[in-house]
Amino acid sequence: MKAGVQIGESKTMTVEVTKEMIAQFAGEVVHPVYSTASMVYHMEWVSRQLLIPYLEASEEGMGAAVSVKHLAPSGLGTKVKLTATISAVSDRRMTTVVTAENTVGLIGKGEVTQVILPKKVIQEKLLQVND
């Protein structure tokens, strides 16, 4: 991993809750609100944006752990602001604390850990899985 990563560095992104993001299973809507699965996806995505600038050409990041608490609903069409802040980093791992907020307040919080591996190692692992 490239030098320069700083604990406390943060990244923010905003998403608007769409039909594809609402709580549903097998195409059946359970609740017309931002789903936990979508929240996890966006928390991983904003965290990855912090990692990307520090990856060497021969490296890639992979999700290793996600811990999320979905605290409040956010309806269709609302805007959700997600902020990831680096809380721990080593040569092969980055952990971020992530929050999700709408205009009412905090709707989710969690932690995302990504490992950094050589692309060659990832390819070897994928070959093992596909055997």
Residue 28 lies in a domain: yes
CATH code: domain of residue 34: 3.10.129.10
pLDDT-based confidence at residue 131 (cuts at 50, 70, 90): low
Residue 63 lies in a domain: yes
- Counting residues of the chain whose pLDDT is more than 90, the rounded percentage is 90
Residue 107 lies in a domain: yes
pLDDT of residue 111: 98
Q: Residue 109's domain spans which residues?
A: 10-129
Q: Is the dihedral of CA 47, 52, 56, 58 positive or negative?
A: positive
Token pair listed for 15 = 């998403």
Our count of domains for the chain comes to 1
Residue 1 lies in a domain: no
Question: pTM for this one?
Answer: 0.93
